[in-house]
Amino acid sequence: MYAQLRKWVADFWSGIRSVSGDDAYERYLKHHALEHAGTVPLSRRAYYDEDQQRKWSGINRCC
């Protein structure tokens, strides 16, 4: 019961982090390690810059 509750809270929190983009860099590192192993990943800040540039280039706000 307690373990189940803890799992729910943890899932909820990780969901919130995903939706807000708080864990974007961690996800990027994971992807990088998987697909581009051996090359140097972007720094936190360089990734953030690139991520924002990309995010705000399409239609992602509406009426």
Residues that bind other proteins (CB under 8 A): 15-22, 24-25, 27-28, 31-32, 35, 43-45, 47-63
**Distance in Å, CB of 13 to other proteins, minimum:** 10
CA distance 37 to 27: 14
Closest distance to other proteins from the beta carbon of 3 (Å)? 21
Which residues have a Cβ under 8 Å from the Cβ of 55 and sit 6 or more positions away?
none
- Our CB check for other proteins shows the closer of 4 and 60 to be 60
Farthest CA pair distance, the chain: 45
